[in-house]
A = this chain, B = another copy of it.
Amino acid sequence: MLWRDLKAWQIYGANTDVGKTIISTVLCKALARRAPTNGLLYLKPVSTGPDGEADDRHISRHASGVLSKCLKQYSKPLSPHLAAKIDEPNHQLNSRVGKLNAADRSLLQNVKDNLDAHQKDGGKYALLETAGGVLSPGPSGSVQADLYRPLRLPVVLVGDAKLGGIATTISAFESLHLRGYDVQSILLFDLPQWGNAEYLRDYFSHHEIATVCLPPPPEREADQQKDYDQLAAYYEKLSSSSEVGSTVDLIHQKHFSHLSKLTSMPAHAESIIWHPFRQYGLPQNVVAIDSAYEDHFEVYNQEMDALVKKAESSDTGLQPLQSMASSGPLLTPLFDASASWWTQGLGHGNPNLSLTAAHAAGRYGHVMFANAVHEPALDLCYNILSTLRNPRLSRVFFTDNGSTGMEVAVKMALRATAKRYGWDDHNGEIGIIGLKGSYHGDTIGVMNCSEPSPFNEKVDWYKPWGYWFSPPEVKLVKGQWRIQLPADDSMPREEGPTTLFPSLQAVFDFDARQEDAQFYADYIARTLTHLTHQQKRKFGALILEPLIMGAGGMIFVDPLFQRTLISSIRADPGIINHDHQARGAASGTADPVSWSGLPIIADEVFTGLYRLGRPSSSSFWNTSAGSGPEADISPDISCHAKLLTGGLLPLALTTASDSIFNTFISDSKADALLHGHSYTAHPIGCSVANKSLDVMRTISASAIHSNPNGGSIQPTTSPKPSSGLWDGYRQSWSSDPDSDVFSFFSPKTLSTISNHQLVNSCFAIGTVLALTLESATSGYNSTAAASLQARLLTTVDEQGRGVHSRILGDVIYFMTGLETSEPEVRNLERTILRALDGELAAQR
């Protein structure tokens, strides 16, 4: 909601009865002086009380030449959520705090449409007046500051001049501020006996917000005409006063400085930021993100803007007004289809997460974690283990991101192996076992856990330490699910025999796939024995990204292959160790959940915590869905980040089993795991993670037949009612309401996509959809998907919203949040299909 020409503000009140309408009238009159007739729209979205007393009428009466409009008038002078119930007996209240419901969205759309229409008509100003205080409920019961947050209009806050008004005004400001609003100016009446104006002016100067004091309106008169005249005189005088004039100047200036900052951001960024993963020698369109809400960015796209400006400046023969109108909104909503690099779960600008973060900041700030403990960190340990339900895991180590979390995992595993097998050298002889296409982060230690690739080939200290299997991939090709089995390790992965599946679920039916399992087991044993016995190579860990290797190109690995790899290594430690004595040590423990053969590390940074529909993606290695991982195939170490904080800020956890933990116990400090970042277990991150895990547990639960919230570890919160938000998704994939092999994207759309001429193969699981496009070249250096990606930015839906996606060579992928609604997902699917068709048409 930002235009070059139309300037819109929202008027909030610090409390009810603080003079919001009077001050709005003053502003309307002052702005109307600067606008042509009907150039100013006064909009009251919701009004309660008798029609004749409505605020929009007051404006009409006192500010001529102003378009005045009320969108919804309820008859009783009550809070709108009560007034609506009286006028509309079937009125439903919103039951979710901080989340909008359908009625909220429809009201918002109405406001947007009115503002858009006003802009198209050449409107210069709009004032949107709210009802009651900042957090007074709207008709649905959603508090107004939440309700109007998607618009994020700059705010003029009307302060409270009465006794107690210092407190209510500052609190109202804080409630707006923590919801991401920009409060541009505070206006209040000057009642010197309470001293509020003087106090607030000083207070808000610390927040660089101007506070303006106005003389209060005259006392009401019994005589109607006299009352009107007196008020009219007050308005006339005040609206032409210097205080009001300079306020109007100020909010104008803030409009232009916002515009100028926004539109210059890409160019400034170009000169001072060193962007991640960016080749500055290649042209790149940098988008400026003004704000974000739920699944959408609000983006200024300089390329689109340049096109518009070019059209304007050329001799088009358009009238000035039409030309202005053609410039349209400066901000485009774009669906954040990479979930902001795979982090988002609970939506951008989520007020519950903001408040949770602020509480932890207020209670602790950051407090050091060495030999110390605080409630959010301790709660998070129980919370993550009860979420994962992996019987092996018992200890939690904190770091800051997936990469550092995996560095810790690797340090843990290598030490455990080296100690048990009596290897203790620094010659870099101990490698890891992984899959080709894996990726574990950008720090050099974990880069060394991946095979050579364009990601690491120019990192001077990169040294690949390990062996990587070619993974058999799961793909949907022309409506058919298929897996190519590995033929031999020396052959390219395309050449193995192909197995076909009637459904995605069938891939996970391991009982029916015993032949494939045997095939894999033989292949794995042959390969590993050759490496360890013939080549005498040493390995310290098996590292797997459960199901999907993300950065490596969204490779969906056959879960049966990963499962067999783990069980092969666990069952016969000899296949990874040729030394008989060490082999004895490897199996020499009676503890059934002690690591065996090699420590198994699950890198769940991308795939874990509901990204693929389950709390833990290692659980996909299970034979039975819906429960936690089985002890015999669950990892000894698992690493979590990204979605852990719901998508708000960095935090990572590396969880490990007792048998790993015990490796580091001795009487020497030097044997300890000497790792720890200074913000380790920072209370904000831990608090937000606890909140997020609780919310994710609720939203993922089926309302039809709840999953058991079991596990032996004590839950930190009482069980919540399940939301049933995912029931529709589950139903579209399976008749089993508890099915945990499903996607937000529909199987029908997926089949259509797989049959599209431009698509080589695709898959969808959980919140992820990935398309491998037909392309002459493949891999990270391919640019095949770039054209579709660019098209999606401008392939808008009925609400003018495009799609911001990320590509990996010839792969383009899409990801939703965990609360993305079914209509939103279906809408995204339609946009993707339209963009694919558009690409095809353009190629012809």
Contacts and interface: CB of A to CB of B under 8 A. Distances in A.
A75 interface: no
Given A407-B443, A649-B682, A274 B396 contact: yes
A385 B354 contact: no
A365 B292 contact: yes
A81 B81 CA distance: 38
A373 to B, nearest CB: 4
B178 A361 contact: yes
Contact of A378 (B272, B287, B418): B272
Contacts of A194: 78-79
B444 A338 contact: no
Interface in A495-530: none
Interface string A15-41: 111000000000000000000000000
A133 B163 CA distance: 10
A459 B369 CA distance: 22
Given A206-B97, A348-B364, A278 B16 contact: no
A167 interface: yes
Contact of A17 (B164, B199, B661): B164
A151 interface: no
Nearest to A382: B272
Interface in A405-421: 407, 410-411, 414-415, 418
A463 interface: yes
A68 interface: no
A682 B180 CA distance: 15
A133 B164 contact: yes
A415 to B, nearest CB: 6
A424 to B, nearest CB: 8
A701 interface: no
A280 B167 contact: no
Contact of A362 (B16, B179, B273, B373): B179
Interface string A793-835: 0000000000000100000000000000000000000000000
Interface stretch (A628-636, A670-678, A767-775): A670-678
A721 to B, nearest CB: 11
B167 A16 contact: yes
Contact of A410 (B167, B174, B178, B461): B461
A533 interface: no
B359 A666 contact: no
A747 interface: no
B673 A274 contact: yes
Nearest to A81: B199
Interface residues of A, number: 176
A419 to B, nearest CB: 9
Interface in A97-111: 97
Contact of A373 (B195, B266, B463): B266
B415 A460 contact: yes
A463 B680 CA distance: 25
A261 B166 contact: no
A259 interface: no
Given A269-B378, A362-B349, A650-B682, A275 B669 contact: no
Nearest to A412: B274
A647 interface: yes
A364 B292 contact: yes
A162 to B, nearest CB: 8
A574 interface: no
Contact of A684 (B357, B367, B372, B806): B357
Interface in A375-402: 375, 377-378, 381-382, 385, 394-398, 400-402
A378 B340 contact: no
Nearest to A350: B365
B277 A178 contact: no
Query: Which of A15, A360, A367 is the most central at the interface, judged by chain B CB atoms within 10 Å of its CB?
Result: A367
Contacts of A152: 363
Interface stretch (A135-143, A225-233, A555-563, A722-730): A135-143
Interface in A130-181: 132-137, 141, 143, 149, 152, 163-164, 166-168, 170-172, 174-175, 177-181
Interface in A439-494: 441-448, 454-463, 465
A276 interface: yes
Given A174-B355, A669-B781, A273 B381 contact: yes
A456 B415 CA distance: 12
A453 to B, nearest CB: 9
Contacts of A758: none
B647 A366 contact: yes
A838 B120 CA distance: 80
A164 B16 contact: yes
A175 B180 contact: no
A279 B133 CA distance: 55
B363 A349 contact: yes
Nearest to A174: B175
A678 B462 contact: no
Contacts of A442: 404, 407, 674-677
Interface in A638-663: 641-642, 647-650, 654, 656, 661
Given A426-B460, A444-B445, A454 B15 contact: no
Contacts of A350: 361, 365
B371 A285 contact: yes
A22 B336 CA distance: 51
Given A282-B667, A349-B364, 18 more contacts: A132-B163, A132-B164, A133-B168, A133-B171, A135-B166, A135-B168, A135-B170, A272-B381, A273-B396, A274-B656, A276-B675, A279-B672, A288-B372, A292-B365, A348-B364, A370-B806, A442-B675, A454-B674
Considering the complex of A and B, which 5 residue pairs feature the smallest CB-CB distances, nearest first? Answer: A276-B676, A133-B167, A444-B445, A16-B164, A180-B363
12 contacts: A17-B164, A81-B195, A132-B164, A135-B166, A136-B166, A168-B171, A276-B398, A279-B667, A279-B668, A282-B667, A442-B674, A668-B781
